[in-house]
Amino acid sequence: HSSQTRRPDDDHDHDDRATDLMQSKMQQSKIIIEEHQRRVQSDGLKCSESTEKEDALTSVIFHCNLPGPLNTELEFNCREPSCGALEAKEKAVELTDEDYTVDPNFFDDGYALAGATGFKVWTGSRLMIETLAWPQNDDCEGLKEIQ
């Protein structure tokens, strides 16, 4: 039967490995967000939010224009403001406590809180609209085919 004795260096080695792992993860994350790897924001794409009240219920309308001469606009009727889908210069709404209401489907059979996230525009929604509706010259051939 052998007994193991912890040496002070063991903790130091563990800390070094943890630090190395964390730096490696940060480096991997940095690669994902490096500017040269991002798709350039489409010139002319504009999004915003507005509110609409009907029977004391407040809805948030997410607006997103489409390219072309017809000035077509997509509108998403949501219960809450978008989450990360607007650029800093785009108009966002701020709801007051009175604007929030209980989800009308909350007491329905089979209601799941996860379903409530479908009533909000997320970052990926804007990205999808921009990628599919706003073609760019340097888009890959596969994407151009889908567009």
Rounded to whole angstroms, the Cα distance separating 28 from 128 reads 24
Tell the residue number behind the tokens 């077509």, with chain if given.
Answer: 72
Note the pLDDT tens digit of each residue in 28-82.
555 455 666 567 788 899 999 999 988 878 899 999 999 998 989 999 998 889 9
H helix or E strand, kind and range, residue 33: helix 8-33
Phi and psi based region of residue 71 (left: phi greater than 0; alpha: psi -120 to 50; beta: remaining): left
Q: How is residue 97 annotated by DSSP? A: G
Q: Output the DSSP codes for 6-20.
A: --HHHHHHHHHHHHH
Confidence of residue 122 (pLDDT cuts 50, 70, 90): confident
The CB density around residue 119, as the number of other CB atoms within 10 Å, is 15
